[in-house]
């Protein structure tokens, strides 16, 4: 297979986005001297120079706000608490339209509060179903004594998880009862309290780089990804800089008992979020690649409940992301993009689901899980790199894509149609389902959209519904490229 691909691949000069398309986060056609997208928008195309061109600003207007260079006073916060409160209030007013669509749902119990054992009672029993595949070290009860001793940022984040899970499992109601407190409002109150607690941690020069601060912020980021997914990249960039201040990945990307789950969640969020982000706007892909050995150690320690992707396929995704970043930003390290793409694709095809499943203590079903991810990663590799011109639309690759698309569709329907596997698969199958949706025909699109809605209800999260909306918009556009679908950074899995 690899020899056929190598023979068919032509040397293609990667496209470079013009500066205006980069600013607007659009896919540029790379036409010289000015791109067609700028021409159609009646905009003077700034071109493709290595230096960003200056923009004239009308008198009296500011191009952007400048950050103050003054150092905060001791004990003061780096984040303005008044601004945090205002942001929480504005978020409360707007989030129902964009992030939490069930804006009419309410709990029929006045003054509803999540119990201290809500995660153990509501979420854990559903999540423990994945233990039927293989024992999972990341799934366990949270002792109530531990909850009482946790930092405020984490306790409020735990409340957000419980409320968000309950919110998306409530039936829709047209008219909420008068006097009831909505789950959404309670959730946003806890989110605001968590933000204020984090602000206080960041306001202390010593505390902000402690393991307590890093762990609290990492945990809040993984929770807020569920509640407000449009903010995930802002959180991720900030946390990455905080990790660098706290000793860097070389210190934190290792099995530290009290931080391991949070660090692994951070890595998975960045790697998997990059698969559904435009190639020119990925989250720290070179950092993931530079610390690939440390990432492998963390990821192989145990299965993550929401991502049952074999380690070698997960590491292949890291390499694909890094290659996309290189090509989109027009710089290359080592071999040509063509050679790197062929090598990655060959490694993915060498993965043996049966051998991998035999190496893992498990029940039945892991061969199917491994095969699903192998086909999904293959489709991601070929489609995303073809979108950048690295791999050609050759007969060999068309045949490879067709075979993996058929296998992926068959296995997804088999898993979600099985009484034994359905409620297990729903916990970690959203990403392969999105990948399948990229290549789906009309009949398969209906299957993808319906199953994403079912998964959203099962796991108590809006993210699969968001994935369905993004795919629906892509289908209506009749575009075909990977980056045509994901024109802004998205993430569709809970971490």
pLDDT tens digit sequence for 349-386: 999 999 888 887 766 788 999 999 999 999 999 999 99
Nearest-5° Cα angle at 78, 72 to 79: 140
Whether the per-residue pLDDT at 473 is higher than 60: the answer is yes
- Please, how many CA atoms are within 13 Å of residue 222, restricted to the half-sphere of its CB? 20
Whether the per-residue pLDDT at 159 is higher than 80: the answer is yes
Can you tell me the mean pLDDT for 389-404? 95
CA distance 317 to 337: 15
Bigger pLDDT: 470 vs 34 = 470
CA-atom Rg of the chain in angstroms: 23
pTM, full prediction: 0.74
Domain ranges of the chain: 81-248
Whether the per-residue pLDDT at 66 is higher than 50: the answer is no
User: Given its phi and psi angles, is residue 200 left (phi above 0), alpha (psi -120 to 50 degrees) or beta?
Assistant: alpha
Q: 3-class DSSP state for residue 304?
A: strand
Q: What is the pLDDT of residue 121?
A: 65
- Closest among 95, 87, 185, 126 to 466, alpha carbons compared: 95
Bigger pLDDT: 97 vs 489 = 489
Burial class of residue 82 in the structure, from the number of CB atoms within 10 Å of its CB (0-12 exposed, 13-18 middle, 19+ buried): exposed
Report the run of H or E that residue 397 belongs to, with start and end.
helix 395-416
Q: What is the pLDDT of residues 222-274, one digit of tens each?
A: 888 888 888 899 889 989 998 888 888 888 887 777 788 888 889 999 999 99
Q: What is the pLDDT of residue 415?
A: 92
Helices and strands in the chain, H and E counts: 25, 0
Q: What is the pLDDT of residue 7?
A: 41
CA distance 173 to 160: 22
């Amino acid at each position: 297979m690899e020899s056929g691909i190598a023979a068919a691949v032509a040397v293609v000069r990667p496209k470079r986005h013009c500066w205006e398309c980069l600013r607007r986060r659009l896919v540029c056609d790379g036409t010289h001297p000015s791109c067609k997208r700028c021409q159609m928008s009646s905009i003077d195309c700034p071109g493709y120079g290595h230096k960003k061109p200056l923009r004239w600003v009308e008198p009296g207007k500011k191009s952007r706000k400048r950050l103050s260079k003054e150092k905060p006073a001791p004990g003061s916060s780096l984040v303005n608490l008044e601004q945090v409160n205002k942001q929480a209030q504005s978020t409360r007013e707007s989030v129902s339209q964009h992030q939490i669509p069930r804006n009419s749902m309410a709990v029929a119990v006045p003054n509803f509060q999540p119990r201290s054992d809500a995660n153990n009672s509501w979420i854990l029993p559903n999540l423990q179903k994945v233990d039927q595949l293989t024992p999972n070290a990341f799934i366990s009860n949270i002792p109530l004594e531990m909850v009482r001793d946790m930092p405020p940022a984490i306790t409020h984040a735990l409340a957000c998880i419980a409320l968000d899970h309950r919110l998306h499992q409530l039936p829709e109601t047209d008219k909420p009862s008068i006097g009831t407190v909505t789950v959404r409002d309670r959730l946003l109150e806890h989110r605001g309290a968590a933000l204020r607690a984090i602000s206080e941690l960041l306001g202390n020069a010593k505390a902000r780089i402690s393991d307590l601060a890093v762990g609290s912020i990492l945990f809040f980021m993984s929770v807020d990804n569920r509640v407000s997914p449009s903010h995930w990249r802002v959180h991720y960039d900030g946390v990455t800089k905080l990790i660098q201040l706290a000793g860097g990945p070389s210190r934190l990307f290792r099995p530290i008992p009290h931080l391991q789950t949070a660090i692994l969640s951070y890595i998975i969020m960045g790697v998997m979020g990059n698969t559904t982000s435009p190639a020119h706007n990925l989250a720290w892909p070179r950092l993931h690649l530079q610390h690939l050995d440390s990432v492998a150690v963390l990821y192989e320690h145990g299965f993550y409940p929401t991502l049952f992707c074999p380690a070698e396929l997960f590491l292949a995704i890291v390499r694909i992301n890094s290659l996309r970043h290189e090509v989109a930003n027009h710089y290359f390290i080592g071999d040509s993009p063509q050679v790197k793409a062929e090598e990655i694709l060959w490694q993915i095809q060498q993965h043996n689901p049966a051998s991998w499943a035999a190496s893992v203590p498990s029940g039945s079903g892991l061969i199917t899980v491994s095969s699903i991810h192998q086909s999904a990663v293959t489709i991601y590799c070929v489609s995303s790199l073809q979108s950048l011109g690295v791999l050609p639309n050759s007969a060999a690759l068309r045949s490879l894509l067709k075979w993996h698309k058929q296998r992926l569709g068959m296995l997804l329907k088999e898993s979600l149609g099985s009484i034994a596997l359905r409620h297990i698969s729903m916990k970690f199958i959203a990403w392969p389902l999105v990948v399948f949706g990229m290549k789906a025909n009309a009949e398969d699109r209906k299957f993808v959209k319906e199953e994403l809605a079912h998964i959203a209800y099962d796991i108590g999260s809006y993210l699969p519904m968001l994935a369905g909306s993004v795919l629906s918009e892509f289908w209506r556009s009749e575009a075909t490229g990977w980056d045509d679908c994901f024109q802004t950074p998205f993430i569709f899995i809970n971490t």
